[in-house]
Amino acid sequence: MPRRTTAKTRVPVAMQLTADLVARTLKVVEDEGPEPHWTPISSQQLDELVSRVEQEAGDEGIWVFAYGSLMWNPGFEVSASDDAIAFGWHRAFSLRIERLRATSDAPGLMLALRPGGSCSGLVLKLPCETRRQDLRALLAREIRYAEVCDMVRWVSVKTPTGTRRALTFWASARQSPLTEKIPLDEAAILIAQACGPAGSCAQYLHRTVSDLADRNIYDRNLWRLQAMVAARLSAIPEA
């Protein structure tokens, strides 16, 4: 039986998606602007989102549940961190993109949190001294478009010291047709092909799975996905 992802387990074997394979996906890509048909979030909308989150947090410190790039590149000075598991959620490449790490000619996928299962990751605390500033930068990074403002929410996570409420970013299909459940074989095709001005989707996958492996976190679906992407890239003749 496949091992579940509800807790830390020993990573089974060496990754098949190697740095050399990832290097084949990297190229210089011109920035084409925002995602087609989506409205960049305005400064006022961002400020309103920041205020909403701060009001919901109250006098408590703000913890963020990190399950993807925030684990290896949080973008703020982490004042405290801890292992965490979000029950009722799982990470998945389910957010379709045509910018950042993709183009309209070669669209790709990014991670989001979806309902169901469980997800091992980290909780990261925003520094109290720069809380609003760091929160605004975090939301600007994760919520780039007005249409996806509902993709930020609070979840309950289990940590070694007890249950904690944490802010996270999830895949809401209610307002975003960009977000959907995508089979692994289709995801592997999109990830293997996509590269944008911020790098490639294969690079993003490699960094995330490598970071999880370093923390001895085994995510069954992502482990299968990296092997599938590696197989596709290995089959492409080198230029």
Q: Which residues are catalytic?
A: 142
Give Cβ neighbours of residue 113 (< 8 Å, ≥ 6 apart). 65, 67, 86, 89, 90, 91, 92, 119, 155, 168, 169, 170, 171
65 vs 81: CA distance, rounded Å: 10
3-state secondary structure 118-177: EEEEEEEECCCCCHHHHHHHHHHHHCCEHHHHHHEEEEEEEECCEEEEEEEEECCCCCCC
**Rounded Cα–Cα distance for residues 57 and 164 (Å):** 12
Look at residue 60 and give its three-state secondary structure. Answer: coil
